[in-house]
């Protein structure tokens, strides 16, 4: 079972998959989501140290959300629809360079580094993460996957706070499964609210992670990118 609290791909890489030669987001056909929604809420965890690695991740040189154009436009659609209901999205991760995934694998193999265990994998031995949870490839590196949550806002559109989803983002535990019975009814309802909003915009949820959504169909299902985020 590929639980993948790191938002790894739900499918194994095939022989037809390749790393793109693109060296810039523009060459890869990606756009900064803030060119479409300038004030979208960003909490891009891997560009800082507030993540399961406990440090800035390789390839994240700036806190920017890049996606392939079709995925970015679909995300814009989801955001604008939620705003009509007094809600907004908060983005945790978007396009992920392939070198960042290699950083994750290296971290998982460093058994001496247990700094983030209490917050991200309290019920697991770190040796269990590589394979079941951390994969050498990620669907995020194909440019059409996003990790996110929903914010509830005040009547004037300000004072937005995250809905209670039952677990933090990137939590290594079956409680993070979208339909987990280990969270309460309100938390499941909040997860369904996020899933419904994203499905209406054309995304599909990865059922092992309530926060993980991929545009369906993917624009570039056989191509990985390794462009640094600058």
Residue 168 phi, psi dihedral angles, 5° rounding = -70, 170
pLDDT at 2 over 80: no
What local confidence, expressed as pLDDT, does residue 11 receive?
39
Catalytic: which of 27, 189, 199, 209?
A: 209
Rounded to an integer, the average pLDDT of 122-138 is 91
The kind and range of the H/E element at 102 are helix 98-109
Sign of CA dihedral 228, 205, 167, 36: positive
Residues 6 or more apart whose CB falls under 8 angstroms from that of 113 comprise 54, 107
With CA atoms as reference, report the closest residue to 71 among 223, 201, 197, 222.
201
What local confidence, expressed as pLDDT, does residue 10 receive?
38
Express each pLDDT in 87-121 by its tens digit: 999 999 999 999 999 999 999 999 999 999 999 99
Share of the chain above pLDDT 70, in %: 93
Q: Rounded to whole angstroms, how far apart are CA atoms 47 and 50? A: 9
pLDDT at 141 over 90: yes
Which of 135 and 141 is assigned the larger pLDDT?
141
pLDDT at 7 over 80: no
What local confidence, expressed as pLDDT, does residue 13 receive?
44
Express each pLDDT in 29-62 by its tens digit: 999 999 999 999 999 999 999 999 999 999 999 9
pLDDT at 3 over 60: no
Residues 6 or more apart whose CB falls under 8 angstroms from that of 95 comprise 25, 30, 65, 66, 67, 68, 140, 141, 143, 225, 227, 229
For the entire predicted model, the pTM comes to 0.93
Share of the chain above pLDDT 90, in %: 89
What's the first-to-final CA gap in the chain, in angstroms? 34
Rounded to an integer, the average pLDDT of 160-182 is 97
In the chain, domain spans:
22-224
pLDDT at 136 over 60: yes
Fold category of 22-224 in CATH: Muramoyl-pentapeptide Carboxypeptidase; domain 2 (3.30.1380)
- Is residue 209 among the annotated active site residues? yes
Sign of CA dihedral 138, 140, 145, 149: positive
Beta bridge partners of 223: 18
What local confidence, expressed as pLDDT, does residue 64 receive?
98
Average pLDDT score over the chain: 93
The neighbour count for residue 77, using CB atoms within 10 Å, is 17
**Is residue 125 classed exposed, middle or buried when 0-12, 13-18 and 19+ CB atoms within 10 A define those classes?**
exposed
Q: Rounded to whole angstroms, how far apart are CA atoms 109 and 6? A: 15
pLDDT at 78 over 50: yes
Q: Rounded to whole angstroms, how far apart are CA atoms 35 and 222? A: 26
Which of 70 and 131 is assigned the larger pLDDT?
70
Residues 6 or more apart whose CB falls under 8 angstroms from that of 140 comprise 7, 93, 94, 95, 96, 101, 147
Express each pLDDT in 190-225 by its tens digit: 999 999 999 999 999 999 999 999 999 999 999 999
């Amino acid at each position: 079972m590929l639980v993948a609290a790191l938002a790894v791909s739900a499918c194994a890489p095939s022989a037809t998959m390749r790393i793109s030669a693109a060296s810039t987001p523009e060459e890869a056909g990606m756009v900064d989501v803030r060119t479409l929604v300038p004030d979208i809420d960003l909490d891009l965890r891997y560009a800082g140290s507030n993540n399961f690695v406990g440090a800035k991740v390789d390839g994240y040189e700036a806190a920017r959300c890049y996606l392939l154009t079709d995925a970015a436009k679909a995300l814009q659609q989801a955001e604008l629809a939620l705003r009509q209901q007094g809600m907004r999205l908060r983005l945790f991760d978007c396009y992920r360079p392939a070198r960042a995934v290699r950083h994750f694998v290296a971290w998982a193999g460093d058994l001496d580094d247990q700094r983030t265990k209490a917050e991200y994998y309290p019920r697991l031995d770190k040796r269990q993460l590589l394979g079941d949870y951390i994969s050498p490839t990620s669907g995020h590196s194909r440019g059409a996957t996003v990790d996110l949550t929903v914010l509830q806002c005040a009547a004037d559109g300000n004072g937005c706070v995250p809905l209670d989803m039952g677990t933090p983002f990137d939590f290594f535990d079956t409680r993070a499964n979208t339909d987990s019975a280990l969270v309460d009814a309100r938390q499941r309802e909040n997860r369904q609210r996020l899933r419904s909003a994203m499905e209406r915009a054309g995304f599909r949820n990865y059922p092992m992670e309530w926060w993980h959504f991929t545009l369906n169909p993917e624009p570039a299902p056989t191509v990985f990118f390794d462009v640094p985020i600058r």
